[in-house]
Amino acid sequence: MDYYGIGFSNIRLPNDSESYIYKYNSKINTFPEEVFLHEFLHSLERNAEEYGYERPELHDYQKYGYENEALVGQKKWYTDYMNKNINTASGKIGLPEEVYTLKPAKSINFKYSYEMKEVFKEPQNIIEEIRGIINNLTNKLELMVQ
């Protein structure tokens, strides 16, 4: 998926509708948006690395004194990571501000992707809803034929 030319992430969910991921339970899946944010941050982390920017590893939160907390998961770590606000002896570190404007450095990142025509456009009425369904089916059929 091309996200406004910034990067991509692939999150695979099981088809089992009985899976706990489809039901919110504070004892099992805290901060459920965390997995999406985590994977998106991996895309930005990779872009920063490919462009030669220094940044901490996304999985090194414990090294910098952060914890995986109940209910909010690693929200504090992700917030500081994105805002370059992680305290170290040599100053603040995190993702560089420039990484939010960079496209992936390697064209191979788009080998199996396709550009979305209308990103996040909600249908405004029943006609747009039906057109959207028809367009989605048409696009899927075209991909199957290729």
In the predicted structure, residue 131 carries a pLDDT above the cut 50: yes
> Which alpha helices (DSSP H) does the chain contain, by range?
34-50, 75-82, 126-145
User: 55-79 pLDDT, tens per residue?
Assistant: 999 999 999 999 988 777 788 999 9
Q: Hey, what amino acid is at 88?
A: T
Pick 140 or 87 by higher pLDDT: 87
Confidence of residue 20 (pLDDT cuts 50, 70, 90): low
The structure tokens listed for 128 are 């747009």
Q: What is the pTM of this model?
A: 0.56
Candidates 35, 29, 42; CA nearest to 71 is: 29
**Which pLDDT score, from 0 to 100, does residue 2 have?**
45
User: 24-33 pLDDT, tens per residue?
Assistant: 565 655 555 7
**Which pLDDT score, from 0 to 100, does residue 36 have?**
78
Q: What is the mean pLDDT of residues 88-101?
A: 93
Confidence of residue 15 (pLDDT cuts 50, 70, 90): low
